[in-house]
Structure 1
Amino acid sequence: MLRRLLLPVLPIWRRLAVRTRAALAAALAAALAFGLATVWVSAAVHDALLLQAKQRAFAASENVETKIPNSPEEAYQDATYVVLAQDGKVLRRSNLLAGIPPTSTDFWSTYFPPLDPSSPLDIVTRKLPGSLLPGGTPPGATGTYHFYTFVTDHTFSSAELAGYSGQSGIAAGRLTGYVLIDEGDTNRTTAQVTRILGWYLAPCSSLFVAAMAWLITSLALRPVESIRRRMARIGEGAFHERVPVPPSRDGIAQLAETTNETLDKLERALAEQRRLVADASHELRSPLAVLRTTLEVPLLHPEAVEWPVVVADALAGTERLQDLANDLLLLATTEEEHGAGQHTVELHDLVAEQLAERGHTDPGIDWRGSVLPARVPGRDPLVGRVVRNLLDNAARYASSRVEVTLHSTDGWAVLTVADDGPGIPVADRQRVFERFVRLDSARARSTGGAGLGLALARTIAHNLGGTVIAEPPNSGRGAQLSVRLPLVS
């Protein structure tokens, strides 16, 4: 039922601003709280005042009873009470009952009959005509009154009763008394408290709470607005700027920190992309210039050109461009992929296969291998590319020998490729894995590659949960590269 009632309101509620929703929710909660508080306070005030009225009426009842045949003390003379003889005749009445003649036997016998002394005496309830109510009531209305009752223990003589009531001929006997529990002040005070709380304090307090909720929410959202403005500036090109982090350690501060971390990564990625584009443009410019020269010069003197040689040179330049483009595409694709999924590779088979191939393609190098079984995550083409790039790098710089080892240790497969070439200076052992980096001894394009092989190997290994590093060579000479990939059982 509640869901049906709220369904039409939900779309409107969701379109409201956060501050408006906070203010409305606070106002509703405050109204409910103050409404319940009004009911509780009014009930508490009524109960407390009623208890006081009962205590006053009880004290007046005792005083009236104990002072017969005399008048009650002055403090209790304003109490509303009636004292009746044993035959029902009214001896004395006061306050609200004073206006009813003692001869109205129907009234007195109906509402205030003499009580049996053997009956337990307590508070009795009487519905009296509305004319007796404090403040008056509409004609014909009745009001509910509560009375303390008593029956005297002493039997009074006719003379005592005549002196007490001013009437003669009253038979001796015990007397019955009714003392009103005056709830007029109780009801009036309770109504006033309810009116003040319900009609003035609760609405004003609810509006105040709503205003404070609006203000506090606005202050709380001020850092969000600062973040929004700064993000707008960053989106316009100020990529070096960062969003302000508020000093509070709350969700907004965490949001700002996470946003700044994301912006750092995006800035690095953008800088890397720009550098990649610039480096790729630079790398493509040289082979394109060579290819163009290869074709333009023969066209100037076509009669003295050996066209098969020209075509072969152009084809070699085209293949170099194709290899560079493939490496760039594979590098970009690999950086977007993370993890190997459910695929695994027998690394020892890939290493053994490529070592056997190298014996035919590079016969001038002594290829030595010590390969132990190892299964690693990944796909054959990617893991094979890591192995191939390391072997290509070693073959490019080795003088006469390349040693390849594969073993397992502490849950890792460790592939090491060492050559006896010029080696890698300590200062360049990190830089050598960057894109398009070729060391001084390898800058000649006839021997050096495009500088993407080791960068691609590192990217693939990193995405598979491994690493590629340049280590100090065990033999003390040449370069030694080591790949660590997690083992798969």
Structure 2
Amino acid sequence: MKRPALGSVRVKTTLTAVAVVTLALLAACAGLLGVIHHGLVGSAEDTALTRARAVADKTARGRLVERLSVPDGEDSLLQVVTHDGRILAAGDNLTGRGPVADFAPTEDHTHAARDIDLALPPDPTPRPFRLVALAARDMDGRDVTVYAGTSLSTARHTESLLLTAMAPGIPLLLLLVAAVTWHSTGRSLRPVEAIRAEVAEITERDLGRRVPVPATRDEIARLAGTMNATLDRLEQSMDRQRRFVADASHELRNPIAALRAHVEIAIAHPDLLQPPDLLDDVIRVQRLADDLLLLARLDAGEHTRPQPLDLAARARAVVRRRPAGRVPITLQAPDPAPVLGHRDRLDRILDNLLDNAQRHARSTVTLTVETTPDQRTVVLTVHDDGAGIPAADLEQVFTRFTRLDAARSRDAGGAGLGLPIARDIATAHGGTLTAHPGPGATLELRLPLTPHPTD
């Protein structure tokens, strides 16, 4: 793979993973240090408070001595101070010093605690202590404050050791996370790069190629499968387009050639050409051009604004305006058949189906419009008593430029676009158009029923 750009998914994923892990580690370290600090300081405060209460008890019973015994030597502090700042008693390490602190418990608390830094001889370096101030009274009822402190040096040292131990580990862990994320992301994106490279090589003349589908069965595999399915549809669409252009060119060649011949005859020998012959050729070319234009619009997915219509009423209107054909049409549409569609397009379906039926019928054509018992579908059926459609050709009749009767002339048989156009219009309306085997030929149109018909 090429070297990823700064804004690539691989770089962004790695940076995001490192950032998330960094925040998580910092939060974990801060939480761990906070718990350790709280525990050590709380333990030191509890020890100091216990000693302060013992001294307060001695003070209340009059057993207070001037020099207080400090169990841990200079690592602990003990001092009893009156409200005016006079020292009643103190440990050896505070002998000769003034009050170790100036804070006292509030009225609603019996004790208060603070962290202080205090230098004790002979070391001039200040050391940390957790100092507790406890309110007490001597045997005469006078208010005094007992100060007791416990060294925090051990707690600070423990915190320092923890920081020292974690400091080099965090960068190493982040490097490991970055390396693992970079490698795993690269492996995950390798199929994507292969797909991209393959798609870049596909052209309109080489639509048979497909992208590789990884065996991982993950989202990338599904993406590759979807792309191959899209390429299949695109290839089929291009094949249909090529066949359509080839068939259209072939179908237009004969009527245009005939029209040209008639025009040349009209120019050279005006008395030999009958005007209806020239007009028939022009009409035939015009109809074929209209059919091709309509197919192009349907293929392009042209959207028309549908409206509620009564398909039974449309069937009656189409039958009334049609000229009398070779075979009469029997209409059976007693009840309304409401559908949602485009008036001209639905009329085009009716005309195409009736044209096809009259072309092949022997004596009768029956047009039926009805609704299904569940009142969800409108069914329009056109049946003729002709030779029928072979079972093997029930779908072939909807292929463009298909004429099953090879013996009939092109003028009588048409261009083979009527039924394909009718099916495309039916599909665009959310319906279906199917053919059924004999006796005779039966074409069935099904459209969704709409509850509010108008016409």
**For each residue in 1:212-265, what CA deviation from the matched residue of structure 2 results, as whole angstroms up to 9, or x when unmatched?**
333333333333222222221224643123333444555434433333332222
Match of 1:349 among 300, 313, 328: 313
One-letter code of the match for 1:394?
A: A
Asked whether 1:418 is paired with 2:383, we answer: yes
**Deviation (angstroms), 1:333:** 1.2
Q: Name the SS for the 2:183 alignment partner.
A: helix
Would the alpha carbon gap of residues 127 and 83 (structure 1) be closer, same or farther in structure 2, given more than 3 Å must change? closer
User: Contact 2:211/2:224 (CA < 8 Å) preserved in 1?
Assistant: yes
Residue 354 of structure 2 contacts residue 382 of structure 2 at CA under 8 Å; is this kept in 1? yes
145 and 284 in structure 1: CA distance in 2 versus 1, 3 angstrom threshold: closer
Distance across 2 between alignment mates of 1:60 and 1:270:
94
Distance change (3 Å), C-alpha of 1:201 and 1:133: farther
Q: Is the 8 A contact 2:79 2:87 kept in 1?
A: no
Question: Does residue 313 of the first structure (1) align with residue 277 of the second (2)?
Answer: yes
SS of aligned partner of 1:238: coil
* One-letter amino acid matched to 2:331: G
Tell me by how many angstroms 1:457 deviates. Answer: 0.7
Output one character per residue of 1:382-433: Cα deviation in whole Å (capped at 9) or x when no partner: 1111111111111212222222222222422222222222221111111001
Number of paired residues? 422
For 2:399, the equivalent position in structure 1 comes to 434
Matches within 5 A, 1:283-302: 283-295=251-263, 302=268
2:150 is matched with which residue?
Answer: 181
Aligned to 2:238: 270
* Deviation at residue 90 of structure 1 after TM alignment: 9.0
Q: 1:381 aligns with which of 339, 344, 360?
A: 344
Q: 2:425 aligns with which of 460, 463, 471?
A: 460
Q: Is the 8 A contact 1:133 1:143 kept in 2?
A: no
- What's the counterpart of residue 36 of structure 2? 45
* Cα distance, 1:238–1:132 mapped onto 2, change above 3 Å: farther
Which sections of structure 1, spanning at least 5 residues, go unmatched? 1-14, 113-119, 152-176
- Residues 325-370 of structure 1: CA deviation (Å, up to 9, x unaligned): 1101012212334776441333223322332344x432x4233222
Q: CA deviation at 1:82?
A: 7.6
Does residue 358 of structure 2 align to residue 395 of structure 1?
yes
Q: Judging changes above 3 Å, is the alpha-carbon distance between structure 1 residues 78 and 271 closer, same or farther for their aligned structure 2 residues?
A: same
Q: What pairs up with 1:221-240 in 2 under 5 angstroms?
A: 221-235=189-203, 237-240=205-208
1:329 equivalenced with 2:293 (yes/no): yes
Q: Percentage identity across aligned positions?
A: 35
Deviations 1:86-141 (A, max 9, x none): x9899984xxx3xx8x6xx3x2x6449xxxxxxx998987967535597824xxxx
Contact preservation (8 Å) 1:340, 1:464: no
Larger of the two Rg values belongs to structure = 1
Greater mean deviation of Cα atoms: 266-275 or 408-417: 408-417
- CA distance in 1 between counterparts of 2:31 and 2:388 reads 88
Taking the TM superposition and a 5 Å limit, the aligned residue runs for 1:33-182 are: 33-50=24-41, 93=92, 97=93, 105=96, 107=97, 110-111=99-100, 129-130=118-119, 132=121, 136-137=125-126, 144=129, 146=131, 181-182=150-151
Aligned CA distance change for structure 1 residues 465 and 442 (closer, same or farther; 3 Å): farther
1:328 aligned counterpart, secondary structure: helix
The range that moved more, 126-135 or 229-238, is: 126-135
- Give a deviation string over 1:436-482, Cα, whole Å, max 9, x none: 00013454213210000011011111111111111234xx3x22222
Contact 1:53 1:181 in 2 (8 A): yes
- 1:367 counterpart = 2:336: no
> RMSD across aligned C-alpha pairs, in angstroms?
4.5
Q: Quick one: which amino acid aligns to residue 379 of structure 1?
A: H
CA distance in 1, matches of 2:10, 2:202: 26
Q: Deviations over 1:188-228 (max 9, x none)?
A: 2212323443x433344344434433333333333322222
Query: When you count helix as a share of all residues, which structure comes out higher?
Result: 1
When residues 483 and 355 of structure 1 are mapped into structure 2, their CA distance, relative to the original with a 3 A threshold, is: same
Whole-Å Cα distance in 2 between the matches of residues 487 and 80 of structure 1?
94
CA gap 1:479/1:92 in 2 versus in 1, 3 angstroms: closer
SS at match of 1:309: coil
Check the 8 A contact 1:338/1:464 in 2, yes or no: no
- Counterpart position of 2:21: 30
Contact 2:388–2:437 (CA under 8 A) maintained in structure 1: no
3-state SS in 2 of match to 1:361: coil
| 1:403 partner SS | strand
Distance in 2 of aligned mates of 1:133 and 1:202: 40
CA distance in 2, matches of 1:267, 1:126: 80
Q: Single out whichever of 426-435 and 220-229 deviates more from structure 2.
A: 220-229
Q: What residue in structure 1 maps to residue 225 of structure 2? A: 257
- What one-letter code is carried by the residue in structure 2 that aligns with 1:267? E
Q: In structure 2, what is the Cα distance between the partners aligned to 1:349 and 1:125?
A: 96
Tell me if structure 2 keeps the 8 A contact 1:339–1:464.
no
**CA spacing shift, 1:179–1:463, aligned 2, 3 Å:** closer
TM-score by length of 1: 0.71
The amino acid of 2:392's aligned partner reads A
| Cα distance in 2 for residues equivalent to 1:329 and 1:89 | 113
CA offsets, 1:23-55, max 9 Å, x none? 333333222222222222122233444466678
In structure 1, distance between residues paired with 2:286 and 2:115:
111
Describe the SS at the equivalent of 2:277: helix
Q: Secondary structure at the match of 2:380?
A: strand
Between the aligned partners of 2:371 and 2:207, the Cα distance in structure 1 is: 44
Write the letter of the residue equivalent to 2:308. T
In structure 2, what residue type is equivalent to 1:321? V
C-alpha distance in 2 between matches for 1:121 and 1:387 = 101
Q: Residue 371 of structure 1 contacts residue 406 of structure 1 at CA under 8 Å; is this kept in 2?
A: yes
Report the Cα offset of residue 18 of structure 1: 2.5
Instruction: Give the match's secondary structure for 1:484.
Output: strand
Given the alignment, which residue of 340, 349, 368 partners 1:405?
368
CA distance 1:322–1:182, change in 2 (3 Å): same
Secondary structure (helix, strand or coil) at the match of 1:324 reads: helix
Aligned amino acid, residue 283 of structure 2 = E
